[in-house]
Amino acid sequence: MTKTIIVVFATLLSSLVSAADLTGRWNTEKSDSGSWLTVDIQPCGDRLCGIIVELHQAKDQSLIGTEMIKGMKKKSETAYSKGKIYAPDTEKWYRSKMKLNDDDTLKVSGCILGGVICRSQTWTRAQ
């Protein structure tokens, strides 16, 4: 009986930990042309960074291996900020923040004017 309780508790705890984890592969929203990216987010020291690992429905594959997220600092259990994000469509870096939503999607924002104006996307976990 005790072993069963421990196994159930460990399983529940494991699912909670993975749900709050921003690391892994994420699919961006589709662009106007219907293409999207897969970004691999991993720890870089005490921060997070992300590399473009796949381009879907895009003819130019030159972005694979490009750093897209850098220096994301943990703000809370589900949020990171004070990093930078690269926008391939403008070929510029923007201040960025990320927040893991309850439905295991990731809200990613690139901002200008000190965070006054932001453009956001909701990313989904890659399968």
Per-residue pLDDT of the chain (127 residues), as tens digits, is 444 433 333 333 333 334 358 999 999 999 988 999 999 999 999 999 999 999 999 888 999 999 999 999 999 999 999 999 999 989 999 999 999 999 999 999 999 988 789 999 999 999 8
Backbone angles phi, psi at 75, to 5 degrees: -105, -40
How far is residue 30's CA from residue 75's CA, in Å, rounded to a whole number?
28
- CATH architecture entry for 23-125: Beta Barrel (2.40)
Element (H, E) at 15: helix 2-19
Do the bridges between strand 79-87 and strand 47-56 make them parallel or antiparallel, or are there none, so unpaired? unpaired
Domains of the chain, by residue range, sit at 23-125
Place of tokens 């003819």: 59
